[in-house]
Structure 1
Amino acid sequence: MKTVIMAGGRGTRIADYSKALTGKVLPKPMIPIDGVPVLEWEINSLREQGFTQFIITVSYLAEEIVDYFGDGSGVSPVTGKPFGVQIEYFHEQEPLGNAGALYKLRDKLVDDADGSEDFLLLNADSIFDLNFQRLVAYHRAKGARATLFTHPNSHPYDSGLILAAVDGGVEKWLTKEDVRPEYYKNRVNAGVHVMNVAALDKAAVVSGIDVSQIGKVQADSKIYKVDLDRQILKPLCGRNVAGGYNVYCYDSPEYVKDMGTPERFEAVAKDFKAGIVQAKNLSHKQKAIFLDRDGTLNKYVGFLRKTDELELLSGVAEAIRKINASGYLAIVITNQPVVARGEVTFEGLEEIHRKLETDLGKEGAYIDALYYCPHHPDKGFAGEVPELKMDCTCRKPKPGMILQAAKDFNIDLAASWMVGDSEADIACGKNAGVHTALLSREKTDDYGQEVTVDNLLDFVEEHMEA
């Protein structure tokens, strides 16, 4: 599979910073982190996972990139190690938009070795460390024309949002200017894509892209450009004629962040030097804080049935921000028997959880995943859902949800915690083999928990590293 890295941006917001840092103005991909250019870190990460064929699009200060990497057969001037890859370049002599080059390169995107028409599409101004083989396997299992690497971030309120079905099929792509629903899942495109050449062909038809005009001056004196998000990916969202989806999202907590401003660059450089970037790769064991919902994140109101009944507890957003910054995953584990009892539909519960994610996002916090058990063993409720009335393996105190999360995210249970306000939470944590913390102001309940604290923020500040 070939990898296309878009490295032609001017980097005007970070130009002065790069000069102050290195003594010269550099294209964004060549700004060093820990002494090594960002683009070299990207190439090294991909090479180590078997991706060795690269096409790099260049424009602004192209010579800085071409002279450094050459065709990939040489040795890094910084590390003294061989690049060990094959690189060819596409020089944008005129601005083509962030996707026009893909149409110019279309025939080069097919892998000559096996005829694969899938390719990786990445931005050169991002720091990432993720399991690309896992991403590609997901893309191919879905039979997707395009797969987006998606994750939550600390500012979903001003980011483009991806709205997806339960199976990951992308229903809608909401750009910043689009009207968004009141409550939404914190799911943002990270700028890492697996695409198929068929996506380009389909988008050309759907969006009316005149491939012959790309890069040419039009009657209005403007150059004909193509925008990746608005003209290719967004128009392909929704169900196709076969009832499936052209575009799927691949949710992962792995590290992908752009470094296009001085502030963002300093943040990712700090994370890189602290080892957080590398540790987030799902090929490595993860650490998680498993969180109960009612009474732990939001005020306990008994059986919560409506979105307006969900209200975050004081200090919760701050606590989760600290978890997000720590390298731990924040994963919600909650029993929701209201579904089996017929009091809340699956969609109603999803809306409640969208409110949870929206409210957290407004305060710069996010959860990495949420698991819920919709079952209930007892019968006799009016309107109950018979197929959900069962003695399942996921309802706390059984550890099914934690064990599933551990499988999904390669979690080291012995290094993780379950935090909740009930005996079932503590028993669930103990059954799963994680550390346990009880939230209890009275401090009198003893369920065998390792620590007892007043609230989630106290736990994070006092015990999370224990």
Structure 2
Amino acid sequence: MRAVIMAGGKGTRLKEMTRNEIPKPMVKILGKPILEYQIDVLKENGLKDIIIVIGYLGYKIKQYFKDGKDFGVNITYIEENEPLGTAGAFYYIKDYIKEDFILLFGDIIFDVYLKKMIDFHNMKNSYATLFVHPNSHPYDSDIILMDVDNKIIGFDSKNNIRTYSYDNCVNAGIYIISSNLIQKIDELKKLDLEKDILSKEINEENIFGYYSSEYVKDVGTVERIKKTSKDLQKNILKSKNLKNKQKCIFLDRDGTINIHKGLIVNPDDIELEKNVAEAVQKINSSEYITVVITNQPQVARGLCSIEDVENINKRLKTILGEKGAYVEDIYYCPHHPDKGYPEENKKYKIKCKCRKPSIELIEKAVLKYNIDLENSWFIGDTTIDIQTGVNAGMKTILLNTGEAGKDGKYDVVSDYICNDILEAVNIIIK
């Protein structure tokens, strides 16, 4: 599989760094151009045949990388005489590529286990696969809408006014594109990949989102470059690569993240506990990922539906996103073993293996995110949460929020007791 890098950007927002003397992909982070970081990751993933689409001051890129041999790769250049958007250059690329290929935008820093994404693309027989993930600013990002099978069913532009709660799921700027797609480009003109091509194909072709917790950051502003510099120095990029075992902070939901109000059946009842946004931001900036594990027996009780729980979780993600924080995933159990409620939903009134303190949901997260449980933590407000963490072989922290351990279901002792989630996160990270 070959790789294509769209490196024609001028970098208007980086003018103080480019000084109109270099194109955006040649901006240096810790003394090394953005484009060189990308080439290094591609090479590490065995992708050494690279096409670079150049435009503004493109000769600077050619002067630096030449044919790529000094960097252990083979580089071919395609030059845009005028800006063609994110997909107009496909008109040229189709003459070079006859099979599926990796596509990158030239303003991202990333460290991704691309083999796993390629395997997903092939398994789904996908027409186009987008690398998607949560970020700290979904409110000003284009949102990707997917079904339960990760098939993309829509795009919600950042320019739209959102009056609904949504999944924090955005396009990261890494794609696997079918050669069949680029063969359809029969005219040289400016094209936007998402708006002009993918959004028009989602009803006709299988287009999927590959969801991952790995590090991919748009470094199109000075502030983001400063943040990425710190992350590189702390080795966070490498640690988040899914080839490596991940450290995770598992969180309970009700009473830990949001204020405990009994069985929540309405998204409007979600209200964050104190210091939660700051705590989750700290996790997001660390080597840890964040996964929520929660029992939601109101489905079995007949008080709400699976769709209602999904909407409640979307509301939680939306509120966190508005405050610059995100969780990688939310797993929930809708079951309850005790029967006898007049309105109960018998389909979910069963003894299951996913209800805490059983660890089936944790095991699912381990499989998806390659989590090292021995170096992970579980934070919650009940003895059920602490017992769950113990059962999974993790360290645990009991909070004095929510039920504050007064549920008394299990005779278990946590490693720490903290007043709130921020105190707990500080203990873990420091």
TM-score normalised per structure 2: 0.95
299-308 vs 421-430, which moves further:
299-308
Query: Out of 27, 42, 45, which is 2:41 matched to?
Result: 45
Letter in 1 for 2:335: H
Aligned residues: 425
Amino acid at match of 1:50: G
Q: Does 1:367 align with 2:316?
A: no
Q: 1:181 deviation in Å? A: 4.5
What is the letter of the counterpart of residue 160 of structure 1?
Answer: D
Distance in 2 between residues matched to 1:55 and 1:341, nearest whole Å: 57
Q: Quick one: distance in 2 between partners of 1:342 and 1:51? A: 52
Q: Counterpart of 1:338?
A: 298
Cα shift at 1:390: 2.1
1:438 matched to 2:403: no
Is residue 34 from structure 1 mapped to residue 50 from structure 2 by the alignment?
A: no
Does structure 2 retain, via aligned residues, the 8 Å contact 1:280–1:286? yes
Structure 2 equivalent of residue 282 of structure 1: 242
Query: Are 1:88 and 2:76 an aligned pair?
Result: yes
Q: Structure 1 residues 136-145 or 35-44, which shifts more? A: 35-44
Q: Residue 344 of structure 1: SS of its match in structure 2?
A: coil
What are the residue-to-residue correspondences of 1:446-457 with 2, within 5 Å? 447-457=412-422
| Partners of 2:138 and 2:422 in 1: CA distance | 23
| Alpha-carbon spacing, 1:298–1:443, altered in 2? closer, same or farther (3 Å) | closer
**From 207, 212, 215, the counterpart of 1:252:** 212
Q: Specify the code of the residue in structure 2 equivalent to 1:17.
A: M
Q: How does 1:202-213 map to 2 (within 5 A)?
A: 211-212=186-187
Q: Distance in 1 between matches of 2:386 and 2:319?
A: 26
Q: Residues 38-437 of structure 1: matches in 2 within 5 Å?
A: 38-73=34-69, 75=70, 83-110=71-98, 117-201=99-183, 211-212=186-187, 214=188, 224-237=189-202, 239-240=203-204, 246-437=206-397
Deviation at 1:340, TM superposition (A): 2.2
Q: Are the aligned partners of 1:15 and 1:26 in contact in 2 as well (CA < 8 Å)?
A: no
Q: Could you tell me which runs of 5 or more consecutive residues in structure 1 were left unpaired when the two chains were aligned.
A: 76-82, 111-116, 205-210, 215-223
Deviation string 1:141-166 (CA, Å, 9 cap, x unpaired) is 11111111111111111111011111
Deviation at 1:179, TM superposition (A): 4.2
Asked whether the equivalents of residues 134 and 168 of structure 2 are also in contact (C-alpha less than 8 Å), the reply is: yes
What secondary structure sits across from 1:100 in the alignment? Answer: coil
Q: How far apart are 1:36 and its partner, in Å?
A: 2.2
User: AA paired with 2:241?
Assistant: N
Which amino acid in 2 is paired with 1:436? T
Contact 2:279 2:425 (C-alpha < 8 Å) held by counterparts = yes
Structure 1 contact 16–25 (Cα < 8 Å) conserved: no
Quote how far apart the aligned CAs of 1:57 are.
0.2
1:8–1:62 contact (8 Å) kept in structure 2: yes
- Write the distance in 2 (CA, Å) between the matches of 1:379 and 1:71: 70
Separation of aligned partners in 2, 1:270 and 1:358: 27
RMSD: 1.8
CA deviation map 1:331-382 (0-9, x unaligned): 1000111122222111111100010001111111111111111121122233
Residues in 2 aligned to 1:234 and 1:28: alpha-carbon distance in whole angstroms: 27
Which of 417, 425, 429 is the matching residue for 1:460? 425
Cα distance, 1:201 vs structure 2 = 4.9
In 2, Cα distance between the equivalents of 1:464 and 1:451? 10
Q: CA shift at 1:457, angstroms?
A: 1.2
Q: TM-score, normalised by structure 1?
A: 0.87
Instruction: Work out the CA distance in 2 between the residues paired with 1:421 and 1:62.
Output: 56
Whichever residue aligns with residue 58 of structure 2, its letter is A
| Distance of 1:201 and 1:313 partners within structure 2 | 52
Q: 1:304-337 CA distances to partner (integer Å, 9 max, x unpaired)?
A: 1111121111211111111111121111000111
Counterpart position of 1:80: none
User: 1:54-87, CA deviations, whole angstroms, 9 ceiling, x for partnerless residues?
Assistant: 11000111111112212222x2xxxxxxx22211
Contact 2:110 2:215 in 1 (8 A): yes
Alpha carbons 1:200, 1:232 under 8 Å: kept: no
Q: Does the 8 Å CA contact 1:49/1:132 hold for their aligned counterparts?
A: yes
Displacement after TM superposition at 1:231 (Å)? 0.2
Letter of the aligned partner of 1:29 in structure 2? P
Task: Give, in whole Å, the separation in 2 of the partners of 1:424 and 1:196.
Answer: 47
Moved more, 346-355 or 445-454: 445-454
Q: Residue in 2 aligned with 1:15? A: 15
Residues 381-427 of structure 1, C-alpha deviations (whole Å, 9 max, x = no match): 33433332222211101111112111111111111110001111000
Report % sequence identity. Answer: 45
Do the aligned partners of 1:443 and 1:453 also contact (CA within 8 Å) in 2? no
Task: Give the CA deviation at 1:12.
Answer: 2.1
CA distance in 2, matches of 1:199, 1:337: 45
**Which has the higher mean CA deviation after the structures are superposed, 341-350 or 27-36?**
27-36
Tell me how far 1:443 sits from its aligned partner. 8.2
